Structure 1
């Protein structure tokens, strides 16, 4: 980001100064080429070995190829519907600037995209390119997280590969939707959350909350990643390196639960209407589950959250894309969850809090989600938390145990 953002600002300045003298569409294509070369240079700096560099570079190039195909041949999945709305609102925003400053427009992502369009032109492909850039920049930040956690190279490679090539996140990574920038902001927040466990500097608390808060402006559900992190900031015992359950933090949890119940009760009609809203399409699930009061709302939240995090369920598979998602996305989420829960009692607090954050946010998102397509889209906002938790547990506990067993077996022989 230290290289990419200054480049974008310089390019925006050139477009403003020479607005009448240049063809902005041609320059947008040129900027994509320049910025892509800068990203590849950044990959050289961030890669610990050739394998990681190749994964990062191929991850960028295949997304650029998908972007070209989407623009020149046929629309790819996830680049319809919402993406058209985002584009149209962004164009309106760009046309109103600088005289009208966004007040009458809705949707933070469309506003941000409108500012981009104002400087670079109303070109869908450039907005899509920025999402591609955010996804690969998030991959380089995952490398920083791997170094922070002292994860072995083979597991770092696995984490980066999964991040860049899991099918559904890949298909969302070039589309004109808000996912790419949200992915980056959430990874940035998680990085500083983990950094706090190393240095306990209050600045890392701010740097954890700020990017996740900005991500919540794109979609407010992202905010619910924070409660587990804030709980860790408040009650983590730095000397014992764990959270001790005592009277104070147990009371805090009780107050938090009571507060949640009060909020749900006071806004029952609004919450229940969203939960029971009808949705079209063949991927609808839990259609018969009707919630009529706040108690049922709270009781069914885990079920709705489970469906969001592990869709499509085998009995809901409709076709090829669902099969692909089930095999390469859902099964991985299930396998990662199994390994985290299997080692839950002994794993570090930071992994426990990331895992808890996934399920708290999953329940919140799940209550307003009614179909597999939307569930897959939302759950991938938490993919970085799941990957970091799983790879961290795999590296420190699962692989280490296997190595010890192997050494023990050799000594016996």
Structure 2
């Protein structure tokens, strides 16, 4: 991974300084250096992944698509302003939270008019490298490929034989050509860093699963906490991981509640309450006991999932019990056919919603029919379900839901890989 980062930043520095030397009037050099970047990066990346060189073609296609996307963003603005501290570029086109503008503000004047953790991080990078939206965009691309590399390392650690299997090919192609992920990877946004951190979490979680060494649980939790600093809802993945540790193990197929596990569950509850009280949840801040987060979650105007058309129940606790599964369903699988507004919603459903709907359906079906022999898959399913709870109550439209659920894409695709492997094992068992 270190050589991949080095080759990418070397190209970035070349683009940056050539643009300055030519008075920022030569966008053509971007395409030349980008082409060199593609070649150098591909050779470095494939060697570090240690996979079949044939993967250079699909990886190259994705990288070229990302370069074209970045060049399009540059073409709708002025090349000179892309390489300068001017924040007048219409970053709302790719950057709804204006991370670029705030980062440039921090790098140039030392403070931000609005506090965003990712902008602070990006601002520190800009202080070192100079203010350039190109740096922010390329950094997102780098987080994307580093996440893919962590996925490959996770698969290799789980079972090295899978690397050359059809199951791996399918799952890796999903990550390479998933439209939402490619789109986000060229934006100046926190999403790719969160995906990268949660990829680390999965890597260490699988290491714990294989070795039963609890140091890996600690290492798995750290990236989730860091992701929670960037977006409070991400911290809920830690709750799912903790439940998996308490209820399951690699040697036990069914959850078993004992005095010990029950004590751990109570401890987890208190730790969860303590952590949640100190994490910034934005829309759900400053709520007293009588208001409750779920009441705000039912409000379309203040940040709650209005598109779920929640069932109105007077008792807030009962309302949470009834509405939470419904809201989780909408968050994970929206846009659903009954609320399609046009062809783009149909495409979003086919490209995004089905990617979540099919594996979740298969997990539940196989579990009910006792065909799910791998409880690692069930543990990941449980973790992803719990992760969806705060987002289910906090988003108000399917577009935002699609963006937020992409945070768990590496976990989801690893789940798909396990399900494909499980299905293959079941078919072999039947043929004997």
Q: TM-score normalized by structure 1?
A: 0.82
Structure 1 counterpart of 2:226: 214
Structure 2 counterpart of 1:275: 297
- State how far apart, in whole Å, the 2-side matches of 1:13 and 1:172 are: 23
- State how far apart, in whole Å, the 1-side matches of 2:15 and 2:66 are: 25
Mapped contact 2:324–2:392 kept (Cα < 8 A): yes
Mapped contact 2:210–2:250 kept (Cα < 8 A): no
Shift of 1:187: 0.9
Structure 1 counterpart of 2:198: 186
Structure 1 counterpart of 2:60: 57
1:3 aligns with 2:25: no
1:360 aligns with 2:386: yes
Shift of 1:361: 1.2
Structure 1 counterpart of 2:173, from 161, 165, 171: 161
- State how far apart, in whole Å, the 2-side matches of 1:261 and 1:201 are: 26
1:95 aligns with 2:108: yes
Structure 1 counterpart of 2:43: 41
Which secondary structure does the structure 1 equivalent of 2:308 belong to?
coil
Structure 1, 113-122 or 235-244: larger mean CA deviation: 235-244
Deviations 1:72-122 (A, max 9, x none): 158xxx96374462122111111134xx6x7x7511111111112222332
- State how far apart, in whole Å, the 2-side matches of 1:9 and 1:60 are: 15
- State how far apart, in whole Å, the 2-side matches of 1:326 and 1:15 are: 38
Mapped contact 2:104–2:123 kept (Cα < 8 A): yes
Paired residues, number:
397
Mapped contact 1:64–1:129 kept (Cα < 8 A): no
Structure 1, 127-136 or 116-125: larger mean CA deviation: 116-125
Mapped contact 1:224–1:361 kept (Cα < 8 A): yes
Structure 1 counterpart of 2:428: 403
Structure 1, 39-48 or 284-293: larger mean CA deviation: 284-293
Structure 1 counterpart of 2:320, from 297, 310, 313: 297
Shift of 1:166: 1.9
Q: TM-score normalized by structure 2?
A: 0.79
Instruction: Please show how residues 10-409 of structure 1 align to structure 2 within 5 Å.
Output: 36-45=38-47, 46-73=49-76, 80=93, 82-83=95-96, 85-97=98-110, 105-150=114-159, 151=162, 152-234=164-246, 236-237=248-249, 240=252, 243-250=255-262, 252-253=264-265, 267-269=289-291, 271-272=293-294, 274-279=296-301, 285-287=307-309, 289=311, 294-295=316-317, 296-344=319-367, 345=370, 346-395=372-421, 397-405=422-430, 407-408=431-432
Shift of 1:132: 1.4
Shift of 1:223: 0.7
- State how far apart, in whole Å, the 1-side matches of 2:273 and 2:366 are: 31
Deviations 1:209-264 (A, max 9, x none): 11121111111111100112123334545655765332332454467669979989
Structure 1, 335-344 or 238-247: larger mean CA deviation: 238-247
- State how far apart, in whole Å, the 1-side matches of 2:100 and 2:292 are: 29
Shift of 1:163: 1.1
Deviations 1:107-164 (A, max 9, x none): 1111111112222332223211211121122112111122122225211111111112
Structure 1, 217-226 or 168-177: larger mean CA deviation: 168-177
Shift of 1:42: 3.3
Name structure 2 gaps, 5 residues minimum: 78-90, 278-283
- State how far apart, in whole Å, the 1-side matches of 2:333 and 2:177 are: 18
Mapped contact 1:308–1:362 kept (Cα < 8 A): yes
Distance change >3 Å, CA 58–CA 357, structure 1 → 2: same
Mapped contact 2:7–2:41 kept (Cα < 8 A): no
- State how far apart, in whole Å, the 1-side matches of 2:14 and 2:135 are: 16
Which secondary structure does the structure 1 equivalent of 2:257 belong to?
coil
Which secondary structure does the structure 1 equivalent of 2:228 belong to?
helix
Mapped contact 1:312–1:330 kept (Cα < 8 A): yes
Q: Tell me the C-alpha RMSD between the 2 structures.
A: 3.8
